[in-house]
Amino acid sequence: MDKIHLNEMEFYGNHGVFPEEAALGQRFRVNVVMETDLQDAGRSDDLKKTINYAEVYTLCKEIVEQKRFDLIEAVAENIAADILNRFDSIACVHVKVIKPNPPIKGIYDSVAVEIMRDRHD
């Protein structure tokens, strides 16, 4: 199966279980990989035969910036469900939500969740 990647999209949202996360917000990064057949699009050079990346970006932006969740697992789940609901030609979607600065004492780069959903889930 062919794949379309949207890498390191960055948004500002108010997700987290702590009150300061909901009040102040923070940066989130999102990676999306969509599995679909790209042969017709490649042969025809026709946008209608592929997934419009701008639409996927906007969908992710709306979920991260306009909704509120305690868990980044819920952010990922909502992104995956919306992508599968909106684009019938996508067989499977992988979503990774990265939280660069969670309020955890320690030295680390980030925390993240990654999920994979297909039409059978």
| Alpha-carbon span 79 to 97, nearest angstrom | 10
Q: Quick check: is 61 catalytic?
A: no
β-pairing, 2-13 with 92-99? unpaired
Burial 5-31 (b: 16+ CB within 10 A, else e): ebeeeebebbbbeeeebeeebbebbbb
Dihedral of CA atoms 101, 107, 109, 113 in degrees, nearest 10, equals -70
Catalytic-labelled residue, pool 49, 67, 99, 105: 99
User: Cβ atoms within 10 A of the Cβ of 67, count?
Assistant: 13
What residues are annotated to the active site? Answer: 99
